[in-house]
A and B are shown apart, each in its own frame.
Chain A
Amino acid sequence: MPLRANLSVLDNIALIPQYRHNLDYETASGQAWNLLLLSGVESAALKRDPQLDHVERFTAKLLRAAIEQPPIILIDRPALLLPDTHYPRFLRGMLERLSDHLNDCWILDYRWNAPLYHPHPPSPAPR
């Protein structure tokens, strides 16, 4: 689902605990800010949807899903959300950074993209 266009990234993420648990704005935005710091996109905190690049928008949506620590997060065809990005490496790094806040995360992608997710074999030692 798209972000709310008239709220900043920080407000979009904080809105979930505000709605689900009636947390006050300061507490909810504090939680959202911690996640933004962890993910490394805190510079996007006050931006709204039209000002975001693909990586910032994807991260905002991922954090919005992660803030409630659901049992599973499903990332459906990440290439659609992250064009012009080497997304397997980006996803691996992002999921590692957020590992304390994620229970289980599944990535759904086309079979022919499977090799992208395998780490590169070590390059042969120079002779």
Chain B
Amino acid sequence: MTNFLTRRGAALLAMLRVWRATLSLTGEVVVAALSPAVYNSATRTVVMKQIYFTAVQILVPFTLFAAILSFVLIQIVVGTAAKYGLSEYALEMVVRLLVLEVLPLVTALFVALRSGSAINTEVALMRINNELEALEDSGVDTLRLEFMPRVIGGMLSVLSLTAITSVLALVLAYLAVYGLQPWSLPDFTRVMGQVFGGGILAGLGAKALVFGLAVTVIPVAEGLATPKMMFMAPISVLRGMVRLFFVLMFIEVASLAFKYI
């Protein structure tokens, strides 16, 4: 019994240590990202490359996927609404479902799988191979040159991909509800005005930014917490991805509760 409690207590303390490190890293990265002095020529180059590899490179395939997903969901919602005589609410339901909830979450999960897992692996291997210490010993600020660019790339990636796929979903929703004609634009605009109040838009932007922060800071923090043994690298990625999944779901549930309860 004592052994069991000791093991559970040690595991709990280890988990709390990782969470504290994650929150501390989040604060440091946010402060650094908002400090103009940090952006010298090298940081700008690395940040731009990171944005390219995290956001621009995946733009076309992800937009195509989001268009197919949006098209299928719009058809389901519009068809079901027509079946129950609720066609007048179909557009609002589509926008609330897709633009406010599904697309930001799917974008964050996609960036997490593509970039978050890669960041977790990179940082874990850098730690295991003592590269972070070597960089710091040679006077390089790892927060500025290694971690902050990845976080900015992730945040901008989630924000921009959410915005692009949301606009695409709105166009598809218009076509599904009104058809290929411009005469219903005033009706469409009125519904958009009802759905997208200032608070909702600000909340959507904030949610995308917090998603972007989570998909990069959690993998970096988990990579930094990796014990210096090569076989711990895959375990670190596994832990990082599981924690990231629960954090993304928690943010989504909190956002739903805030809006609708």
Q: Which residues of A contact B (CB under 8 A)?
A: 1-2, 4-7, 11, 14-15, 18-19, 22-25, 28
Contacts and interface: CB of A to CB of B under 8 A. Distances in A.
Contacts, number: 36
Contact of A25 (B41, B50, B53): B41
- Secondary structure of the B side of the interface? helix
A4 B135 CA distance: 12
A22 B40 contact: yes
B134 A1 contact: yes
Interface in B128-183: 131, 134-135, 140, 145
Contacts of A24: 41
Contacts of A11: 45, 49
Interface of B: 40-43, 45-46, 49-50, 53, 122, 131, 134-135, 140, 145
A22 B53 contact: no
- Secondary structure of the A side of the interface? loop
Contacts of A7: 45-46, 49
Contacts of A19: 40-43, 140, 145
Nearest to B146: A4
A14 to B, nearest CB: 8
A78 to B, nearest CB: 19
